[in-house]
Structure 1
Amino acid sequence: MTPFHVVIPARHASTRLPGKPLLPIAGKPMVVRVAEQAAQSGAQQIWVATDHHAIAAAVHEHGFKACLTHEHHTSGTDRLAEVVEQRGWSDDTIVVNVQGDEPLIPPQLISAVAQHLANHPECAIATACHAIHNEADFRNPNIVKAVLDKDGNALYFSRAPIPYPRDTFAAGQTLPEQLPVLRHIGIYAYRASFLRAYSQLIPAAIEQFEALEQLRALWHGYKIGVTVTDDAPPAGVDTEADLHVARATFEQLLSQGI
C-alpha cells in the first residue's frame, strides 16, 4: 500500500446545520467519527483542518490531530493546501481529502483513491465514481456525472445528463442499460505539488457555471484519474434528516458490536 495522508476539512459555519462537525453521533462528534473511518484506511497521518478552536479541541480530546487554518478559505482544497504548507510535506506526498460530514465513508474507498493516484503518475488528482442506471438520477442536476477517456481519466464532470443518448431519447425510449453513466463521488486524492499550485490557478468559466471546483484542474490541463467502484458509498450529512439516518446507522452498528 502506497503511503498517504488524510486531511479532513471541517468548518464550523453551515447554513443548514450550524456547528455540523461537532454534532454528536452515537456519543462522539461527527468529525471524530469521520476520523475513525479514516484511521481504518491505512493512512500514515490523519489531520482535521479547521478554522474553529472548539472543533480542534474535540478532535484532540478523542486522540486525533488538528490543524488550525485561516477562516477565509473558500474551499476545502485551499484548506488542504494550507495544511500541506504547515506540515512541510514533500511535493510527492499523496493527500486524500475526506469531507468532514461523511461519518460513514468506507475506509476502503479512501485507500482506493490514494492507490489509484499512486498507480497513475501522469495524474495530479484521483477521485471515484460508480455506475448509475436510474434515469431520474441521470437527469438530476444535484447528481454530478463524469465521462472518462480510454485510460480511465476524467474528460468532464457535469450536472447535465452526460453522455446524452440522443437517438434513444428522441425515440421516446428510456435510459439504455449499456450507456456508461457514472456518478461522481466527492472524494479526492491530490499530490501535494498540485495543492501548492492550486491557489495560483485562475478560476475557469466552466467551473463557475457548473459550480464544480474540479473543472478548474481540467481546464488548466491537469489529469484526474478515476477509480470506478461497484457500489455507492453511504450519503454524507447535509440535512437534519441525513443526521438522523447517520445516528440510526451507528446505533445499529454499535448494538451489533461492530
Structure 2
Amino acid sequence: MPHSDGAGVIDMVGDGVPSSRIGERVWIWNGQWQRPMGTAAEYIALPEAQAVRLPVTTDFAAAACLGIPAMTACQAIHLLGDISGKTVLVIGASSAVGHYAAQLAVIGGAEVIGTVGSAEKARHALGAGVKTTINYKTEPVAQRVKELTAGRGVDAIVDMDFSSTIQLLPDGALAPHGTLVGYGSNAYGDTPVPFRTLLFSSISLRFFLVYDLAPVDRQMAIKNLTDLLANGRLSHTVGARFALDDIAGAHEAVESGKVVGNVVLDLP
C-alpha cells in the first residue's frame, strides 16, 4: 500500500508522549493503514509506537523503505525458523521485499536462489547475496530449482505471488518437510492447492499480512531491523526519487514496473 511508509523528524507530541521525543529522527510503519491519509504529506499524526527511532547511520530515503518491505521480509524469514545451512528460494528477489528477504536469509546462514525477470534485476539480486538467479520469464523455475539442488528442491520459499508459486510444488521445487511463507498473491480469489503434494511431502504453508502483525512479531521485527541498521548490515535501494508535487509521476514510475528498487517522495 503506497503512503504507508516514511521517515522524518518528530515536530510535536501529544499528551502522554515524552517531550524529549521532539526532534527525534524516526521511521514510520502503517502510516495509511485504515486511515484516509498517509505519509505523502508534509506532516502526519500517528500513535507513538508507529514512529520508531532511526539510527543516525540511516538516511531518510532508506528509512522510507522499511515499513512494508523490510518488515515483511523480517517476518517472512522469522517464520522459516532456523535456516542456517539451508537453501531458500526467494520469489521476486529483486523486488522491494525480496531484496531485503535475500539479505536477511543470507545473514541467517542460508544459501539463496532468487527468481528475477531481467538481467538487470538479476544483477540487483546478486548484489543482495543471492547465489543463483532464475529468470522466470525464460526458464522453467521448478526444473532449474531441482537442478540447483541435486533434485531435492529447496528447504523453504519466500513467496510474493502464491497463485503462481503454489504451482511449482507438484514439480518438486520445495523439498519434503519444507515451508512456503506467503505474503501476497496476484489472484486474491480462491486459489487451488495441490493437496496430495502438500500432504505426502509434509509441506507447511505460512501466511501473514504485514499490516496486521501480532504485537510480539512487530516488536521482534522492529528490534531486528534497528540492530541491523545500527550495525550497517542492510543495504537499501532507492530506485527513483520524486518531489511531493510530482506524486503522479512517482505512481506512474511504480506502475511501469521498470524501476529497480523503491520509489520515494522528497518533501520541500
- Range into which the TM-score falls when normalised by the shorter chain: 0.3 to 0.5
- Structure 1 length-normalised TM: 0.35
- Structure 2 length-normalised TM: 0.34
Question: RCO (CA 8 Å, sep 6+): is it higher in 1 or 2?
Answer: 1
